[in-house]
Structure 1
Amino acid sequence: MAAPVIMTQTSNLNENVEEVIHLPFIRLKKLSFNQELLNDHYDWIIFSSKNAVKFFNEYYPKVDVSHVAAIGEKTKKYCNQRDITVDFFPENFSQEGFINEFTVNKDSRILIPSSAAARPLLQTKLQEQDAEVVKIDLYEPEAYTENIEQAISLLKRGLASGIAFASSSAADYFFEEAEEANLGANYMYYAIGKPTFEKIKQFGFKAEIANEQTIDGLLNIIKESRNRK
């Protein structure tokens, strides 16, 4: 039986999966922001991740907002658990999918609380459609160096066969450390979505990309890859 794959997401899986080792490569650091931004009215607030909901939850009751949108099934579910009603939820769990499905009214005021490292695509495209967008940087990722070093050790000892990257930041942090550690190239890499796939490619490695941009999608592509061998 092949050695398990290291999974880099920041929260534990809800089930025990033999194929993976849970080892987050990112720690999240809370940031301060101008709370006067919460005093304005917004037509929409867009949560692009579960972490965005988690870090903004204490501020949400203070905001005068008409509608809530969520990107990703787990984000929507987490909103529901926090009694936040989601009014719009795209079928495609990505910024690109959201942009294609979301209808923007001219001069709409939109609040996006998210990571400081989030891709600017969503904000840019909404602004191009004449929406007024306010982005709040709630937190920022930083490398979980101890876990990355442990992952490199597991790979070198044959106790893991590859890595499933749940974000492009995780891939960035890992390959910078792996380069210094002279890690070989005989490992399988998996990407949760195209941005993460492109980041792995930048470092000169190949990866399989999940058909669905979710953790379940990553698990499925790992299983499919193993079944082909």
Structure 2
Amino acid sequence: MTNPHVPLGKGPVARVLVTRALHQSPELADALRACGLEPVIIPVLEMAPPVSFAGLDDALARLKEFDWLLFTSANAVQVFRQRFPGELPSTLHVAVIGSVTARAAQQASIPVTLQPEKATGEGLADALLPHADGARMLLVRAAVARDVLPGVLQQAGARVEIAEAYRTVVPAHAPMQLKELFIGQDRPSAVAFTSSSSVHHLLQALQAGGGELPELTVLATIGPITSATLREAGYIPTVEAKEANVASLAEAIASALGPQS
């Protein structure tokens, strides 16, 4: 299935589907409104506890054994702090994947040692390479995630332990809400994808509800990894944010849709 890159734009204000988890949607919604667009919030993923916290709790009990603590999402930071409210060992270094995760760490009183310029797993791996050989690293992340970061670090000589902090699941109401949204006359002109998970979960929810993405919908991604995931699923991204943040994503969508009458 391909996307001919023609927006549907109906009415004076183009509507944009926001698929982020509910607690993460307001920031993108505000950025879209600032660009003169109307956000339509239907979360296609929500956080759920892992099958067991045993692995994470065991690692946290041994936190002094690690040289580095790695976070690849704000969600992981929040769960970590819930399970480990105490002070971090003074010898522990903390690395985060990007500005959103760094902000979550700051709010959780977790000092950040390293944040790469490129907010991707590859970018974080590259930034950690000089510290990898012989280092003991704890990666706190979602149950299902890309293995680029631990793979690169392990090849460089690091001992990486992965602790599952949460799972992402499709909310029960999402399939029917999406079906009704896309068959309606006032369907959105664009869909904003902020992660690979948002791609997978949106398509999963559409399939469960018996719906599909209309051919003329603008598909906007927050970065190259999300774009690659969309292509792997058989869709061509219309536009990609110049920087991996919601403000840049909103601007890219506004540019793709053109002036709103």
Relative to the length of structure 2, the TM-score reads 0.79
- The whole-number CA distance in structure 2 between the counterparts of 1:148 and 1:220 is 28
**2:134 equivalent in structure 1:** 107
The residue matched to 1:57 in structure 2 has which SS?
helix
Instruction: Say whether residues 1:37 and 2:43 are aligned partners.
Output: no
Q: Runs of 5+ in structure 2 lacking a partner?
A: 1-11
The residue matched to 2:25 in structure 1 has which SS?
coil
- The whole-number CA distance in structure 2 between the counterparts of 1:43 and 1:72 is 20
> Structure 2: which amino acid aligns with 1:140?
R
Task: Return 7-16 or 185-194, whichever deviates more.
Answer: 7-16
- The whole-number CA distance in structure 2 between the counterparts of 1:160 and 1:152 is 12
Alpha-carbon deviation of 1:164?
A: 0.6
- The whole-number CA distance in structure 1 between the counterparts of 2:205 and 2:225 is 20
- The whole-number CA distance in structure 2 between the counterparts of 1:101 and 1:202 is 27
**2:147 equivalent in structure 1:** 120
Task: Return 125-134 or 96-105, whichever deviates more.
Answer: 96-105
Deviations 1:118-155 (A, max 9, x none): 11111111101100101101111111242343233223
Alpha-carbon deviation of 1:63?
A: 5.5
Alignment of 1:45-64 (within 5 A): 45-60=69-84, 61=86, 64=89
Once superposed, what is the RMSD of the aligned Cα atoms?
A: 2.1
Which protein, 1 or 2, shows the higher relative CO under an 8 Å CA cutoff with sep ≥ 6?
Answer: 2
Instruction: Say whether residues 1:192 and 2:205 are aligned partners.
Output: no
- The whole-number CA distance in structure 1 between the counterparts of 2:79 and 2:138 is 14
- The whole-number CA distance in structure 2 between the counterparts of 1:33 and 1:86 is 26
- The whole-number CA distance in structure 2 between the counterparts of 1:198 and 1:105 is 27
Alpha-carbon deviation of 1:62?
A: 6.8
Deviations 1:15-68 (A, max 9, x none): 634322232210111122232222331111011111010111123437645111
Task: Return 159-168 or 50-59, whichever deviates more.
Answer: 159-168
Alpha-carbon deviation of 1:184?
A: 3.0
Alpha-carbon deviation of 1:70?
A: 1.1
- The whole-number CA distance in structure 1 between the counterparts of 2:234 and 2:133 is 42
Contact 2:47–2:168 (8 Å) recurs in 1: yes
- The whole-number CA distance in structure 2 between the counterparts of 1:170 and 1:82 is 25
Aligned pairs, number: 229
Q: Runs of 5+ in structure 1 lacking a partner?
A: none
Alpha-carbon deviation of 1:97?
A: 1.3
- By percentage of residues, which structure has more strand? 1
The residue matched to 1:12 in structure 2 has which SS?
helix
Contact 2:218–2:256 (8 Å) recurs in 1: no
Q: Structure 1 pair 188/152, CA: closer, same or farther in 2 (3 Å)?
A: farther
Task: Return 121-130 or 58-67, whichever deviates more.
Answer: 58-67
> Structure 1: which amino acid aligns with 2:67?
D
Instruction: Say whether residues 1:5 and 2:16 are aligned partners.
Output: yes
Relative to the length of structure 1, the TM-score reads 0.90
Alignment of 1:1-229 (within 5 A): 1-10=12-21, 11-14=24-27, 16=30, 17-18=32-33, 19=37, 20-31=39-50, 32-34=53-55, 35-40=57-62, 41-60=65-84, 61=86, 64=89, 66-102=92-128, 103-157=130-184, 158-179=186-207, 180-207=210-237, 208-227=239-258
Task: Return 204-213 or 110-119, whichever deviates more.
Answer: 204-213
- The whole-number CA distance in structure 2 between the counterparts of 1:48 and 1:112 is 8
- The whole-number CA distance in structure 2 between the counterparts of 1:159 and 1:29 is 29
Q: Structure 1 pair 185/177, CA: closer, same or farther in 2 (3 Å)?
A: farther
- The whole-number CA distance in structure 2 between the counterparts of 1:182 and 1:145 is 17
Contact 1:70–1:76 (8 Å) recurs in 2: yes
The residue matched to 2:146 in structure 1 has which SS?
coil
The residue matched to 1:58 in structure 2 has which SS?
helix
> Structure 2: which amino acid aligns with 1:204?
G
- The whole-number CA distance in structure 2 between the counterparts of 1:124 and 1:96 is 10
